[in-house]
């Protein structure tokens, strides 16, 4: 039998696992292969392993190599305990860059922005190990993974390679012992059932000799002197169940603690930046630790077997002695209200048949909700790592509850960009597909999509070509023109060009009569181009009254009257939240456009309703009052009504004008009782003011 330890330079943990394995007599006649990328650390690990074997007088063979594939060749078990990127630069980047944006973490190795970027740099490495196992490992070789982020790594291995594997953590064992201590119960008489996801699994049952022992834990909530596990006890108070992983972990998986400031942080004893301190402490004490590990006076300390599951899994598979361990495995119906295929932590039977996860069923809904908040982050991070789609990095961090409670979307995007650039500079991450800057959409198919748009120019048809790409573009377009009734059809083929990042305009004379009074259409097509047609419907004739809708609901009702040399109007605008912006048209308002004929220039005026001490006003595009206008406003809870009278000459109309061209836009902040605001227009378009072809014809002769 061959057992391989990948990341053996983590010598403290490697020694623990090695001593656990070699204290089973049935496992001693084996080869232990040690592998690490750090030659100095590997040399120490090899020396420690050989001392253990020698001191215990075992037949175990020790090998050491810097080559992972060589270490895995013919292995029956591969134990992974790597930390890609190490303390520096990896962990430091994970903490220090988010801290600049106001995002604080405690451990940052499982969830949140720290967990996501740790996963992004770890998944490619662990997947390569899995590929080595599949290609050169012994038949049935099992990966025992101790590397965080546990759920992300195991999920990625299952999706990409699918070898036998299990993720191992000690949180179930250690927390069960801790709960026995809190309850004042002998550990040997305690039993439990745990399920969920790694670091967010829950004690669904905690029993003493078959009796529910949770009442003893809830009694601790009344202990005013309780100073330990305050976050976990608080979550038990609120959800009814105790979670497996520590309070410092829990505080950064949830939006209820760190985000709410120093008072809450102090109340619950949350150690911010704790993992940085732990790592620094380990490095500071490494020299003395190394001497201790190598043994003083030639002897090395052989500790008792620990509760780590790794050695027990190997022993049960090799001997057939059955055991139950808690493992992180693909969800194949074990937890029915968590996504299929995600990584879940459940009881697993281990014997000579292998590892067999237990069906748990549905978690209590409140626990499934908390687990799902973790699973969403994990799934998006795995997707980003496997597909190299940059947009899913943002989405994963955006889904994290603590990050979402702390940062705006813009801050999340900028933080991820900075983290990604820093990781790539340090050689910890490769390239990801580009996105349109500041968005969650890939550049390909969006940022490089050429847009062709037909519009009516002053002297004919205008075709604009917008090229957001990085290379000049030349496209062949076909414009099919016809009158609204389908007569007078004409087809034109034209080649348009636009430079990189530029918009060009090509003008074409209309080859057949196209009259806005009767309406016409231009259908634009082109290969690989988003082509936008032009449709100019027959002019709408308004004799006196008109109505606009927004999202299918009444928005504006208007009446126009034109006796004498003044134009009189009454407008009812259904806006229940009248607010103004800095510019006249940037809040609640009504914009109106007037033109005497299709060839005359149009005039824009903006009607701004009263608010507070500010009176109703009507101004031109420069913000100057319209001469001679008389205004009167009535305001209600959900609408305002404005009556106005304006000299026709102030609108560039003849004093006796009975016909003119007209369009109206309305901006509403809140439309009725339950609808958000928006814009609506008489013409149905929001660029119509650029061409009087879209204006309605007001004919007061018919009033």
Residue by residue, DSSP assigns 200-242 as EEEEEEEEETTEE-HHHHHHGGG-TT--SSHHHHHHHHHHSS-
Inform me whether the pLDDT recorded for 513 exceeds 70.
no
List the single range of 150-164, 289-303, 356-370, 406-420 with lowest mean pLDDT: 289-303
* Beta-bridge partner residues of 356: 349
What pLDDT, on the 0 to 100 scale, is given for residue 520?
86
Interval 348-367 mean pLDDT: 97
What pLDDT, on the 0 to 100 scale, is given for residue 354?
94
What pLDDT, on the 0 to 100 scale, is given for residue 459?
67
What pLDDT, on the 0 to 100 scale, is given for residue 455?
87
Q: Does domain 448-536 have CATH number 2.60.40.10?
A: yes
**3-state secondary structure (DSSP) of residue 529:** strand
Inform me whether the pLDDT recorded for 424 exceeds 60.
yes
Interval 643-666 mean pLDDT: 94
CB 606 within 8 A of CB 645: no
Cα angle 292-293-298, degrees, rounded to a multiple of 5: 80
Active-site option among 170, 260, 580, 675: 170
Predicted confidence band of residue 123 (pLDDT cuts 50, 70, 90) = very high
What pLDDT, on the 0 to 100 scale, is given for residue 299?
80
What pLDDT, on the 0 to 100 scale, is given for residue 467?
94
Q: pTM above the 0.85 mark?
A: yes
What pLDDT, on the 0 to 100 scale, is given for residue 677?
83
**3-state secondary structure (DSSP) of residue 80:** strand
What pLDDT, on the 0 to 100 scale, is given for residue 288?
80
Q: How far apart are CA 112 and CA 376, in angstroms?
A: 11
Of 336, 405, 409, which is closest to residue 371 (Cα–Cα)? 336
Predicted confidence band of residue 287 (pLDDT cuts 50, 70, 90) = confident
Provide long-range contacts, Cβ within 8 A and 24+ apart, for 255-261: 255/401, 255/402, 255/404, 255/405, 257/231, 258/104, 258/105, 258/106, 258/402, 258/406, 259/402, 259/405, 259/406
pLDDT tens, 184-208? 999 999 999 999 999 999 999 999 9
What pLDDT, on the 0 to 100 scale, is given for residue 2?
98
What pLDDT, on the 0 to 100 scale, is given for residue 580?
79
Walk across the sheet containing 473-483 and list its strands.
Answer: 490-498, 473-483, 520-525, 534-536
What pLDDT, on the 0 to 100 scale, is given for residue 626?
95
Of 67, 32, 28, 27, which is closest to residue 46 (Cα–Cα)? 32
List the single range of 412-426, 584-598, 613-627 with lowest mean pLDDT: 584-598
CATH 2.60.40.1190 domain range(s) in the chain: 541-702
CATH 2.60.40.10 domain range(s) in the chain: 448-536
Of 31, 39, 53, which is closest to residue 9 (Cα–Cα)? 39
Predicted confidence band of residue 685 (pLDDT cuts 50, 70, 90) = confident
What pLDDT, on the 0 to 100 scale, is given for residue 703?
61
Predicted confidence band of residue 519 (pLDDT cuts 50, 70, 90) = confident
What pLDDT, on the 0 to 100 scale, is given for residue 584?
74
What pLDDT, on the 0 to 100 scale, is given for residue 109?
95
What pLDDT, on the 0 to 100 scale, is given for residue 512?
56
> What single-letter DSSP state applies at residue 281?
H
Inform me whether the pLDDT recorded for 510 exceeds 70.
no
Provide, rounded to the nearest whole percent, the portion of the chain with pLDDT above 70: 97
Inform me whether the pLDDT recorded for 535 exceeds 70.
yes
Interval 448-465 mean pLDDT: 86
**At what angle are helices 391-399 and 365-387 packed, to 10 degrees?**
160
Interval 171-181 mean pLDDT: 96
What pLDDT, on the 0 to 100 scale, is given for residue 283?
83
As a CATH number, domain 541-702 is 2.60.40.1190
Interval 135-152 mean pLDDT: 98
**3-state secondary structure (DSSP) of residue 64:** strand
CA 590 to chain centre: 38
Walk across the sheet containing 450-457 and list its strands.
Answer: 502-508, 460-467, 450-457, 529-532
pLDDT tens, 12-31? 999 999 999 999 999 999 99
- Asked whether the bond before 149 is cis by omega within 30 degrees of 0, the reply is yes
Respond yes or no: is residue 307 known to be catalytic. no
CB 467 within 8 A of CB 453: no
């Amino acid at each position: 039998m061959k057992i391989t330890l990948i990341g053996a330079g983590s010598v403290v943990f490697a020694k623990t696992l090695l001593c656990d394995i070699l204290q089973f007599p049935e496992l001693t006649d084996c080869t232990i292969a040690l592998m690490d990328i750090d030659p100095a650390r590997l040399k120490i690990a090899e020396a420690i392993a050989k001392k253990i074997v020698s001191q215990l007088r075992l037949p175990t063979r020790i090998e050491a190599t810097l080559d992972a594939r060589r270490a895995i060749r013919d292995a029956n078990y591969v134990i992974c305990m790597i930390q890609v990127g190490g303390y520096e630069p990896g962990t430091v980047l994970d903490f220090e860059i988010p801290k600049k944006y106001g995002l604080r973490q405690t451990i940052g190795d499982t969830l949140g922005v720290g967990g996501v970027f740790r996963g992004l740099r770890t998944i490619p490495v662990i997947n390569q190990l899995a590929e080595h196992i599949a290609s050169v490992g012994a038949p049935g070789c099992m990966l025992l993974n101790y590397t965080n982020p546990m759920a992300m790594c195991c999920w990625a291995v299952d999706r990409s390679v699918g070898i036998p594997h299990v993720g191992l953590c000690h949180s179930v064992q250690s927390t069960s012992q801790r709960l026995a201590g809190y309850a004042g119960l002998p550990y040997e008489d305690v039993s439990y059932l745990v399920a969920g996801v790694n670091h967010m699994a829950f004690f669904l049952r905690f029993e003493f000799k078959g009796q529910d022992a949770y009442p003893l834990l809830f009694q601790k909530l009344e202990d005013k002197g309780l100073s330990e596990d305050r976050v976990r006890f608080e979550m038990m108070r609120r959800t009814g169940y105790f979670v497996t992983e520590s309070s410092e972990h829990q505080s950064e998986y949830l939006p209820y603690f760190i985000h709410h400031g120093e008072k809450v942080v102090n109340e619950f004893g949350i150690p911010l930046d704790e993992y940085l301190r732990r790592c620094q402490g380990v490095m500071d004490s490494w020299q003395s630790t190394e001497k201790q590990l190598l043994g003083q006076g030639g002897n090395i300390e052989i500790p008792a077997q620990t509760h780590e599951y790794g050695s027990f899994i190997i022993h049960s598979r090799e001997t057939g002695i059955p055991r139950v361990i808690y493992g992180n495995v693909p969800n194949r119906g074990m937890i029915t209200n968590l996504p299929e295929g995600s990584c879940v932590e459940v009881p697993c039977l281990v014997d000579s048949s292998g590892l067999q996860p237990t069906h748990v069923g549905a978690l209590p809904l409140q626990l499934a909700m908390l687990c799902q908040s973790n699973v969403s982050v994990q799934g998006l991070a795995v997707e980003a790592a496997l597909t190299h789609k940059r947009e899913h990095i943002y989405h994963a961090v955006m889904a994290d509850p603590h990050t979402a409670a702390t940062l705006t979307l813009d801050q999340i995007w900028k933080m991820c960009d900075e983290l990604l650039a820093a990781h790539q500079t340090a050689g910890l991450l490769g390239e990801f597909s580009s996105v349109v800057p500041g968005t969650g959409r890939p550049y390909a198919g969006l940022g490089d999509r050429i847009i062709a748009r037909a519009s009516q120019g002053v002297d004919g048809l205008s075709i604009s070509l917008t090229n957001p790409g990085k290379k000049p573009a030349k496209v062949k377009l076909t414009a099919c023109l016809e009158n609204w009734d389908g007569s007078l059809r004409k087809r034109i083929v034209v080649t348009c060009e636009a430079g990189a990042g530029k918009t060009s305009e090509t003008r074409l004379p209309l080859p057949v009569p196209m009259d806005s009074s009767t309406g016409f259409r231009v259908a634009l097509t082109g290969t690989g181009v988003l082509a936008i047609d032009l449709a100019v419907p027959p002019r709408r004739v308004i004799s006196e009254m008109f109505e606009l809708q927004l999202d299918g609901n009444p928005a504006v009702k208007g009446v126009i009257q034109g006796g004498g040399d003044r134009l009189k109007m009454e407008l009812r605008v259904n806006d229940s939240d009248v607010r103004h912006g800095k510019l006249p048209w940037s809040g609640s308002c009504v914009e109106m456009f007037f033109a005497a004929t299709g060839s005359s220039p149009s005039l824009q005026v903006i009607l701004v309703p009263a608010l507070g001490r500010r009176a109703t006003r009507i101004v031109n595009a420069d913000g100057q009052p319209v001469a001679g206008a008389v205004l009167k406003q009535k305001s209600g809870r959900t609408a305002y009504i404005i009556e106005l009278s304006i000299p026709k000459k102030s609108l560039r109309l003849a004093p006796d004008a009975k016909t003119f061209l007209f369009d109206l836009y309305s901006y509403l902040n809140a439309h009725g009782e339950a609808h958000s605001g928006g814009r609506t227009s008489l013409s149905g378009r929001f660029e119509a003011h650029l061409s009087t072809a879209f204006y309605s014809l007001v004919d007061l002769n018919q009033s």
